[in-house]
Amino acid sequence: MAEGAKYNAQELYDRLKAATAPESLLKKHLTPQVFAETKDLVSKFKGTLADCIRSGCMNPDSGVGVYACDPDAYTTFAALLNPVIKDYHKVDKLEHPKPDFGDTNNLGFGDLDPSGNMIVSTRVRVGRSHASYGFPPVLTLEDRVDMEKKTVKCLETLTEDLAGEYCPLTGMTKEKQAELTADHFLFNDSDRFLREAGGYNDWPTGRGIFFAKNKKFLVWVNEEDHLRFISMQMGGNLGEVYTRLVKAIKQLESSGLDFAKKDELGYLTFCPSNLGTTLRASVHIKIPKLAAEPDFKKFCDDLHIQARGIHGEHTESVGGVYDISNKRRLGLTEIQAVQEMRAGVEAVIKREKELAGK
């Protein structure tokens, strides 16, 4: 069990207030008034404020710091989650459009780096949550096993280039896990923020990965979210990667699973940074000159893009290669989120070439 599991909401809040690390969105928005208003509330899945804030209080260096303990937390703990959501997604009002993936036969974009000199690989993912289950802090081992069974049954309906095989983590050798993780296919249990939020409870039971035969479409089962649908390939052909994901989403959305959503928040996820479209489109791209610029973070912020390391969030870049992706997922459609990422990546490529004197 995570270290912070023994602390109640007051003890967690006291730790948060005493911390001197840079201000997380949790610290910014869990005011004394919001704390007083929410500290004794309990969600429909029996989740508590402590369940939502534990990770950010035990990890003061969090960026967001708060998770929804379950889908109902977005209603029960709205006094805290709503200001966090508005702040992260840079919106003044909580409203979200109906899903719109655009016309994949006429996207207007394809390979963002035809030369192949800069973009190593491209990935687009969305998250989905089973409507009738909680999130990690309130999930039981039986819940995860039930969700895994329901998910695998749905994945077995995938056809054509999306058809494939499910590999549970239980029974997978450490060597196989290390190989798949190094190749950026598989997740592991190394994220301390997620650990403190209950993300690794009963690990590895109920977790696994689905691979299409060509390994360009994957589904993560019970990592941070109940489901992550992932399309990825080497090179910079964002058009192909995105089109494949949209085809998979449409097949999986019609397979009978009931996904958690709210009109004004779109699809619901464990972390409030991911809800709405839940879409993160990323490239691993070589930008040693731009990344060395003092204003690199402001350059990204102004374009609503985010730079990460190449082995997942909270990791470092390697050899000047960064993970560049869209930051906003709420208040815009799926095609708008991908277009925002495309425009950001094109600006990054242009700036890197200018700095390299090309």
Tell me which residues touch ligand ADP (CB under 6 A): 121-123, 125, 184, 232, 280, 282-284, 308, 310-313, 323
With CB cut-offs between 5 and 8 Å by kind, which of ligand DAR, ligand ADP, none does residue 232 bind? ligand ADP
Rounded Cα distance, 129 and 112, in Å: 31
125 annotated as ligand-binding: yes
CA 48 to the chain's CA centroid: 22
**Measuring CA to CA, which residue among 266, 288, 296 is closest to residue 278?**
266
Q: Which of ligand DAR, ligand ADP, none binds 63 (CB below 5-8 Å, type-dependent)?
A: ligand DAR
Least Å distance, CB 59 to ligand DAR, is 7
Which tokens go with 155? 């994945």
Nearest CB to ligand DAR, comparing residues 224 and 340: 224
Of the candidate spans 55-63, 109-117, 206-214, 329-337, the one that interacts with ligand DAR by CB under 6 A turns out to be 55-63
CA 304, 189, 194, 12 torsion-angle sign: negative
Residue 321 binds which of ligand DAR, ligand ADP, none (CB < 5-8 A, kind-dependent): none
Smallest distance, Å, CB 88 to ligand DAR?
Answer: 8
By CB under 6 A, name the one of 58, 154, 271, 279 that touches ligand DAR.
Answer: 271
Shortest distance, CB of residue 188 to ligand DAR, whole angstroms?
Answer: 13
* Whole-angstrom distance, CA of residue 123 vs CA of residue 218: 11
Q: Supply the minimum distance, in Å, between the C-beta of residue 79 and ligand DAR.
A: 19
* Beta carbons of 251 and 106 less than 8 angstroms apart: no
Nearer to ligand DAR, 64 or 303 (CB): 64
Pattern of binders to ligand DAR over 24-43, x per CB under 6 A?
A: x-------------------
Residues 153 and 64 sit within 8 Å (Cβ to Cβ): no
How many other C-beta atoms lie within 10 A of the C-beta of residue 170?
Answer: 13
Residue 64, binding choice from ligand ADP, ligand DAR, none, Cβ under 5 to 8 Å by partner class? ligand DAR
User: Nearer Cβ to ligand ADP, position 37 or 312?
Assistant: 312
Q: Is 273 in the site for ligand DAR (CB under 6 A)?
A: yes
Which residue among 51, 70, 224, 334 contacts ligand DAR (CB under 6 A)? 224
Q: From the list ligand DAR, ligand ADP, none, pick the one residue 65 interacts with, judged by a Cβ distance below 5 to 8 Å according to partner type.
A: ligand DAR
308 binds, among ligand DAR, ligand ADP, none (CB under 5 to 8 A by kind): ligand ADP
- Return all residues near 122 (Cβ < 8 A) that are at least 6 apart: 112, 232, 233, 235, 236, 237, 238, 241, 281, 282, 283, 284
97 CB burial (10 A radius; 0-12, 13-18, 19+): middle
307 SS3 class: strand
Q: Shortest approach of ligand ADP to residue 241 CB, angstroms?
A: 9
DSSP 44-90: TT--BHHHHHHHHHH-TT-SS----SSTTHHHHTHHHHHHHHHHHHT
Residue 282 marked in a binding site: yes
Q: Which does 122 bind (CB under 5 to 8 A by kind): ligand DAR, ligand ADP, none?
A: ligand ADP
Residue 50 CB partners (closer than 8 Å, separation 6+): 7, 8, 9, 12
Tokens coding 112: 């963002």
CA distance 128 to 126: 7
Q: Which of 274, 282, 326, 333 binds ligand DAR (CB under 6 A)?
A: 274
The dihedral region occupied by 65, where left means phi > 0, alpha psi between -120 and 50, and beta the remainder, is: left
Q: Which residues pair with 232 in a beta bridge?
A: 123
Q: Which is nearer to ligand DAR, 222 or 273 (CB)?
A: 273
* Residue 280 is labelled as binding a ligand: yes
Of 253 and 313, CB closest to ligand DAR: 313
Query: Site residues for ligand DAR, window 180-199 (CB under 6 A)?
Result: 193
Q: In whole angstroms, how close is the CB of 300 to ligand ADP at the nearest point?
A: 15
